[in-house]
Amino acid sequence: MKALKILVTGANGFLGRSLLGLEGEAEWVGCGRRVDAGDVLYHRVELTDRAAVAALVAETNPDWVINTAAMTNVDRCEEDVSAARWANVEIVENLAAACGDTGVGLMQVSTDYVFDGENGPYAEEAGTKPLSCYGQLKLESERLLQGLERAVVVRTLWLYGYVPETGANFTTWLLQAVSGGESVRVFDDQWGNPTYVYDLARALVGLCREEARGLFHMGGATFMTRHELALELARFFDLDDGLIQPVRTQEAGLLAVRPLRSGLRTDALEAVLGRRPLTFSEGLQRLARDPHFCRDFPEFAR
C-alpha cells in the first residue's frame, strides 16, 4: 500500500512534532517559521502569505495537510486579537484556498473551547457557544472548511505527554515542580478528558487513511478534573500528591473565560477507527516507556 504523504503545518509545535515522530505512519513533510523539524523534510514558509502557501502545497503535492499551527494561549488571544486572528483564522483561509484549488485534503485541529462548558462531555452535533476570543476564532476556522470536498475538523482538548524540543507543558511542569518539593495549585472545577498527544496524532493519521470527512471529537477515555489529573499523575510517578492543592477557576483572575464542565464524546471517531482512545492511566504508561521521556527525565522512567 502506498504511504500517505502528509504536510504538517506548525511542525515545531507540541502536536506537530508528535505527528512527525510517527515513523512509518506516513511520508512526512513539515513546514513553519523555524528552520528545521528534525530528520523530516522541512519547508520554511510564512503561512499568512497566500501565494507562498499555494506554492508550497503545489510543490509538495501531499495527500493531506494537517494544520496544527495556531495561537493556543487563550489569555494571549484576549490581549492580542489581531495576532490571534492571524494565527487561528488567516492561516486556515490560505490553506483552505490552496487545498481547494488542488484537491488536497485539509484537516483542521480545533478545540473544546467552542463550547460553553455547561453540559459536557459534548458530541459533535451539540450546539456551540464559545466564551473566549480563542474559542470564537477556532469556531470561525472550522467553518472555513465547509466548502471543501476533502475536509476534516477534529476538536480535541487537554493534550499531555512529552515531545522533545517543544518546551515545557503541563506534564513536565507538574513533574518537575512536585519532584522539587514545590507546592502547586490546580483547578478542581474544570472538567475534561485528557488526551495523550501521540494517541491524538495516530487518530489524525487514521482519519486521513480512512478518507474521513466532516467533524470528529478526539479526547481521552477518562473524564476528570484538572486537579484529579494532577493527583493521578503525581501518584503514578510516586510523588507527594499533598503538594497539589485545589483552586477554583474564578480565584485565578484569568483574562479568558474557560468552559468548566467540558469534555468531548468520541463515539463517531471510534466508529471510523475501530478503537477507543486511551484512558489517562494507559497514556501515563505509554509516557513512562517513551524513549525520549526516559532519556530526558530518567528519574521518572519505568
DSSP structural state of residue 245: E
Contact yes or no for 44/32 (Cβ under 8 A): yes
d(CA 163, CA 154): 20
100, amino acid identity: G
- How many other CB atoms are there within 10 angstroms of residue 105's CB atom? 23
Contact yes or no for 71/88 (Cβ under 8 A): yes
Contact yes or no for 96/106 (Cβ under 8 A): yes
> Which residue of the set 134, 162, 196, 198 is catalytic?
134
Q: Which three cell numbers stand for residue 139?
A: 469556531
Helix (H) or strand (E) holding 30: strand 27-32
**Maximum CA extent, the chain:** 56
- Quick one: CA dihedral 285, 273, 148, 156, positive or negative? negative
- Among 4, 128, 106, 5, which Cα is nearest to 47's? 106
Task: Give the contacts of 115 (CB within 8 A, at least 6 positions apart).
Answer: 122, 126, 128, 129, 130, 135, 259, 262
Prior bond of 62 cis (ω within 30°): no
d(CA 107, CA 101): 15
Task: Give the contacts of 250 (CB within 8 A, at least 6 positions apart).
Answer: none
**134 assigned to active site:** yes
Catalytic residue numbers read 134
